[in-house]
């Protein structure tokens, strides 16, 4: 096989934006530049553990290309293909509400922008490929457990229809990485890994914030106009480049995309866990899978991130508010590009409006209603309160709700979604009363049950990457068995299909996983 001509690279980010003239790969503050030259640091023994065939197809790669040792070397950071020009980018961010200064790609190294035969642009990025000028005090590496979680969840989200960065490959490095997983003073060696992430753009809110904070307004304008031209081509055609009109339309579009993303997360029960502004994609993609989690028993206050356990800033139910707060920080950063703040305020209004519309659409769809009526909010609010009080599994509940017989609604249809028999017994009358009202509402909708069921099952997934499932795959992979990764990935390809043979992956969180590290709580150590 020849890997020489696999990709056609057109590295616009590097070509059109200023780079750091200092060639040293040493930790420092980088001023006046969007990126720094840096090569991945080679690893001992790169080996492909898993790959996404859909992402490979989008990059015009076939299985033989991907499985070759030459490709493992590239995806592990040991070799470059013609056209690859590795670099790390400079960004800042607000972390947990505080401005954190320069962050940047501390362990992610872009290889270049591959343009596929269909003309789509896909930036390839190795995460865990070694130190960069932005590594601060860390090692630039990533461990297998967090890499596997990022690899699987990126692809699972894509199949769920949620905007996300993608993952092409998961490679083990053969090197150990030292981590104190629980932050309890017990560091241990873990297997290292590299994920090849893929997205049209990895630009974050923090890329704009860093230049605004430093007063580098010309660079801020250049990055904004570059982003519009490269990443929002359909917008770029609507007004002159560099005009306030275009920049305002762009900010409003970022706001609307972010609103749609929040509605999707709510729909599927995803909690990002670290919604710092450096983890917010300008394209409204889910980005940076760290201590994320999936809601098991419905609880708006639940957060998977142990670092956030006290404040719950990034808990499930707060994500839409946090997204808006983050957009406000982006608006602050973009303020120097506008004569007054009105266009930015209009963008934030677009966030509120879009989120309200999306939430109404999403709730109607989740409950199987043709259209959301104002009084439906009460019906939904009641069941959400009940689901929380009775500790009912969110994913399982909505699949079972689709099975409810409008003519004879029965709590037994839902019983399997309860975690606790005592709470089922205690709350049974409340659920029965709610089901009566729900059935009456469905009757008013006059939609045949079969049609409603099919529609609900298209938006309420049967399979999500439950925390314990990822943890099981990790433990097996650490023991050398990668078959579960492929089986899980294969199941998550069709998350809305019944797939009876894969029922084990739809099972609610087992008891052993309730308080286990990696299943119910995750640290940022990765």
Q: What is the DSSP letter of 291?
A: S
Q: Where are the strands (E) in 207-346, listed by range?
A: 270-271, 293-294
CA R_g for the chain = 23
Instruction: Count CB-CB contacts under 10 A for residue 308.
Output: 19
Q: Is 140 in the site for ligand AMP (CB under 6 A)?
A: yes
Residue 497 falls in the annotated catalytic set: no
Question: Looking at the DSSP assignment, which residues form a beta bridge with residue 47?
Answer: 172
Q: Please say which residue, 103 or 246, places its beta carbon nearer to ligand AMP.
A: 103
Q: Residue 227 binds which one of ligand AMP, Mg ion, none, with CB within 5 to 8 A depending on kind?
A: none
Among 58, 103, 210, 255, binds ligand AMP (CB under 6 A): 103
Distance CA 377, CA 142 (A): 43
DSSP H helices in 195-238: 205-213, 217-231, 233-236
Q: Please say which residue, 207 or 267, places its beta carbon nearer to Mg ion.
A: 207
Q: Please say which residue, 275 or 401, places its beta carbon nearer to ligand AMP.
A: 275
Q: Is 40 in the site for ligand AMP (CB under 6 A)?
A: no
Residue 105's φ and ψ, nearest 5 degrees, are -70, 90
Q: Do 33 and 133 meet the contact criterion of CB atoms below 8 Å apart?
A: no
Q: How far is the CB of 288 from Mg ion (least distance, A)?
A: 4
Q: Is 525 in the site for Mg ion (CB under 5 A)?
A: no
Distance CA 234, CA 231 (A): 9
Q: Please say which residue, 154 or 297, places its beta carbon nearer to ligand AMP.
A: 154
CA angle 326, 208, 147 (to 5 degrees): 70
Q: Residue 495 binds which one of Mg ion, ligand AMP, none, with CB within 5 to 8 A depending on kind?
A: none
Choose the stretch contacting ligand AMP; rule: CB under 6 A; options: 22-30, 78-86, 138-146, 398-406: 138-146
Among 288, 296, 391, 393, binds Mg ion (CB under 5 A): 288
Q: Is 279 in the site for Mg ion (CB under 5 A)?
A: yes
Q: Is 273 in the site for ligand AMP (CB under 6 A)?
A: no
Task: State the catalytic residue, choosing from 20, 37, 253, 278.
Answer: 278
Q: Please say which residue, 27 or 299, places its beta carbon nearer to Mg ion.
A: 27
Which among 77, 103, 72, 87 is positioned nearest to 1, based on CA atoms? 72
Place of tokens 């994920």: 195
Q: Do 280 and 287 meet the contact criterion of CB atoms below 8 Å apart?
A: yes
Which among 477, 428, 454, 91 is positioned nearest to 276, based on CA atoms? 91
Q: Is 135 in the site for ligand AMP (CB under 6 A)?
A: yes
**Residues contacting ligand AMP: total by CB under 6 A:** 16
Q: Do 286 and 164 meet the contact criterion of CB atoms below 8 Å apart?
A: yes
Choose the stretch contacting ligand AMP; rule: CB under 6 A; options: 104-112, 264-272, 345-353, 444-452: 104-112
Q: Residue 484 binds which one of Mg ion, ligand AMP, none, with CB within 5 to 8 A depending on kind?
A: none
Place of tokens 């630039």: 140
Q: Which residues bind Mg ion (CB under 5 A)?
A: 279, 288
- Residues marked as catalytic: 278
Q: Which residues bind ligand AMP (CB under 6 A)?
A: 103-107, 134-135, 138-141, 274, 279, 288, 290, 524
């Amino acid at each position: 096989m020849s890997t020489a001509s696999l990709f056609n690279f057109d590295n616009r980010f590097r070509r059109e934006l200023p780079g750091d003239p200092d060639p040293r790969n040493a930790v420092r503050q980088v001023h006046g530049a969007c990126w720094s030259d840096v090569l991945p640091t080679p690893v001992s023994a790169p080996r492909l553990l898993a790959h996404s065939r859909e992402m490979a197809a989008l990059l015009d790669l076939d299985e033989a290309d991907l499985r070759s040792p030459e490709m493992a070397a590239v995806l592990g950071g040991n070799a470059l293909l013609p056209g690859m020009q590795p670099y790390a980018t400079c960004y800042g961010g607000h972390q947990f509400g505080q401005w954190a200064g320069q962050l940047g790609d501390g362990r992610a190294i872009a290889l270049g922008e591959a343009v596929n035969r269909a003309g789509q642009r896909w930036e390839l990025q190795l995460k865990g490929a070694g130190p960069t000028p932005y590594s601060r005090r860390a090692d630039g590496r990533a461990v297998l457990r967090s890499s596997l979680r990022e690899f699987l969840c990126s692809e699972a989200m894509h199949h769920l229809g949620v905007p996300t960065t993608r993952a092409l490959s998961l490679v083990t490095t053969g090197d150990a990485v030292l981590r104190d997983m629980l932050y309890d003073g017990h560091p241990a060696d873990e297997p290292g890994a590299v994920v090849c992430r893929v997205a049209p753009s990895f630009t974050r809110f923090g890329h704009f914030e860093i230049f605004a904070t430093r007063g580098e307004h010309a660079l801020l304008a250049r990055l904004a106009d570059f982003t519009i031209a490269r990443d929002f081509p359909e917008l770029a055609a609507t007004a002159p480049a560099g005009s306030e009109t275009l920049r305002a339309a762009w900010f409003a579009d970022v706001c609307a995309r972010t609103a749609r993303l929040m509605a999707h997360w709510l729909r599927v029960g995803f909690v990002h866990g670290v919604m710092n502004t450096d983890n917010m994609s300008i394209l409204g993609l889910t980005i940076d899978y760290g201590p994320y989690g999936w809601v098991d028993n419905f609880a708006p206050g639940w957060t998977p991130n142990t670092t956030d356990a006290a404040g719950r800033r990034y808990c499930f139910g707060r994500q839409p508010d946090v997204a808006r707060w983050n957009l406000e920080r982006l608006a602050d950063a973009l303020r120097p590009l506008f004569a007054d703040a009105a266009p930015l305020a209009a963008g934030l209004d677009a966030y509120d409006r879009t989120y309200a519309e999306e939430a109404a659409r999403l709730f109607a769809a989740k409950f199987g209603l043709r259209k959301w009526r104002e009084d439906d909010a009460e019906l939904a609010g009641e069941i959400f309160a009940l689901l929380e009080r009775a500790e009912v599994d969110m994913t399982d509940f909505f699949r079972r709700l689709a099975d409810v017989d409008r003519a004879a609604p029965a709590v037994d249809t839902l019983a399997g979604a309860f975690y606790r028999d005592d709470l089922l017994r205690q709350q049974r009358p409340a659920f029965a009363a709610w089901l009566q009202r729900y059935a009456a509402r469905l009757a008013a909708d006059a939609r045949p049950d079969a049609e409603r069921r099919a529609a609900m099952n298209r938006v309420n997934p049967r399979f999500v990457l439950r925390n314990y499932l990822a943890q099981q795959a990790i433990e097996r992979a650490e023991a050398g068995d990668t078959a579960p990764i492929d089986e899980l990935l294969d199941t998550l390809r069709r998350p809305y299909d019944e797939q009876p043979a894969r029922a084990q992956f739809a099972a609610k969180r087992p008891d052993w996983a309730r308080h286990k590290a990696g299943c119910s709580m995750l640290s940022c150590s990765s």
